Amino acid sequence: MEKPEEVSSSKMYGGYNKRYKHFSPTLGCSMTFHIYFPPSSSPQLKLPVLYWLSGLTCSDENFIVKSGAQRAASGEGVALVAPDTSPRGLNVEGESDSWDFGVGAGFYLNATQEKWKNWRMYDYVVKELPKVLSEHFQELDTSRASISGHSMGGHGALTIYLKNLDKYKSASAFSPIVNPINCAWGQKAFSNYLGSSKSDWEEYDATCLVAKFSKFSTPILIDQGEEDKFLHDQLLPQKFEAACKSVNAPLILRMQPGYDHSYFFIATFIDDHIRHHAKVLNSK
């Protein structure tokens, strides 16, 4: 597997934001991702990893530029890894026709429909990217990993975590799409990427999956703004909360008065999420 090319580097809170480019065999195109390397007291001490999955229309840059997560990550000694949200540059007909499907809207699944066969963000995040990191970044310990995300990326973080409890120590999300089979964003994406089989859709729906994979001890942390314009028709946190309660799955759902869907909201509470994950990642 080829070594990623460093595209940019900027110092922040004693560590470095670095952006990389590489060819992804999984997706069939070049991809970019960011890593924030916190300062390390010793080269022998490998850093745990927190993956961040961004939402619709975003790239690997939004979280790194807007969230302010580096301050807490620097203090806790956690590396942040932010991949892009979909394949790019494949020129599939219709890939850029709408903001909520196609480019920038990979939904962290493996598409089964021939036209979208390269949309395999699930395999990219779960399999390829960790392998790239372990092979080329010796300062990272990918065996100590957690996952988080926002909106579509919150959906990705929760579903990936629930299906891979052996690979991730904890999960959290901001404003996640928790029940995509019952909202317009999910129905549009799933029908195009996965076809008409509702059982295939349920494999990428956190509310459906938690009933199957409820045996985790660290609570899932979710922050949701009460003034989020997508709350009642797209995000549906109460559906996931009910599903968790039905199987006694540990969940911390915090409804935050006055907050919306933006990165202002994320920046306000991101330190809590970093500490939530660091507590598990840095435990002996």
pLDDT tens digit sequence for 81-118: 999 999 999 999 999 999 999 999 999 999 999 999 99
Which helix or strand (DSSP H or E) is residue 241 part of?
helix 237-246
Is 261 designated active site?
yes
Q: What is the DSSP letter of 161?
A: H
Q: CA 162 to CA 79: how far, in whole Å?
A: 22
202-226 mean pLDDT: 97
- Superfamily for 5-281? Alpha/Beta hydrolase fold, catalytic domain (3.40.50.1820)
Q: What is the DSSP letter of 212?
A: T
Domain definitions of the chain by residue range: 5-281
Q: CA 56 to CA 103: how far, in whole Å?
A: 9
40-49, 72-81, 200-209, 267-276: which has the minimum mean pLDDT? Answer: 40-49
Please pick, among 155, 261, 273, 276, the residue that the annotation labels catalytic.
261
Q: CA 274 to CA 76: how far, in whole Å?
A: 8
Please pick, among 86, 228, 276, 277, the residue that the annotation labels catalytic.
228
Is 100 designated active site?
no
7-21, 32-46, 114-128, 213-227: which has the minimum mean pLDDT? Answer: 32-46
Contact indicator for 173, 278 with CB cutoff of 8 Å: no
Is 151 designated active site?
yes
| Strand-strand pairing, 47-53 and 15-24 | unpaired
Considering only CA atoms, which of 68, 69, 99 is closest in space to residue 86?
99
